[in-house]
Amino acid sequence: NAGVMQNPRHLVRRRGQEARLRCSPMKGHSHVYWYRQLPEEGLKFMVYLQKENIIDESGMPKERFSAEFPKEGPSILRIQQVVRGDSAAYFCASSPGRTNEKLFFGSGTQLSVL
């Protein structure tokens, strides 16, 4: 009865490299949310996806960041040409659908950019 799985737990990249963060939602959940947590800041919404659709990406930086949730496989948050300011904890959450109920969170990926 696995929960939301994120990998890797820790990711180290040098400036200019690409970072790919993966999120497998809970079984039966078709909606995924990505949040970013910067030091001394709260969880900032980035993007909300349904299978094969981006529903809301109002929190995504306009450049270098992209997200997908294909029909098969995990959701991927991709950061191209990383910079030091991208260092943060990235959390994924899932829900069974458009719902007012709680979100189920993964343990997060800590991205460190050297």
Which residues of the shown chain bind another protein in the complex (CB under 8 A)?
Answer: 3-4, 31, 33, 35, 40-45, 48, 56, 91, 93, 95, 98-103, 105-108
Residue 57 burial (10 A CB sphere; 0-12, 13-18, 19+): middle
Q: Give CA–CA dist 75/78, Å, rounded.
A: 10
Residue pair 66/78 in contact by the 8 Å Cβ criterion: yes
CB of 103 to another protein, least distance (A): 7
Concatenated DSSP letters of 82-109: --GGG-EEEEEEEESSS-SS--EE---E
CB of 101 to another protein, least distance (A): 8
Q: Which residue's CB is nearer to another protein, number 15 or number 44? A: 44
Pairwise CA distance, residues 89 & 43, whole Å:
9
Comparing CB distances to another protein, the nearer of 75 and 95 is 95
- CB nearer to another protein: give 81 or 99: 99
Of 73 and 97, CB closest to another protein: 97
Half-sphere exposure of residue 2: CA atoms within 13 angstroms, side-chain side: 11
Q: How far is the CB of 20 from another protein (least distance, A)?
A: 20
Q: How far is the CB of 110 from another protein (least distance, A)?
A: 11
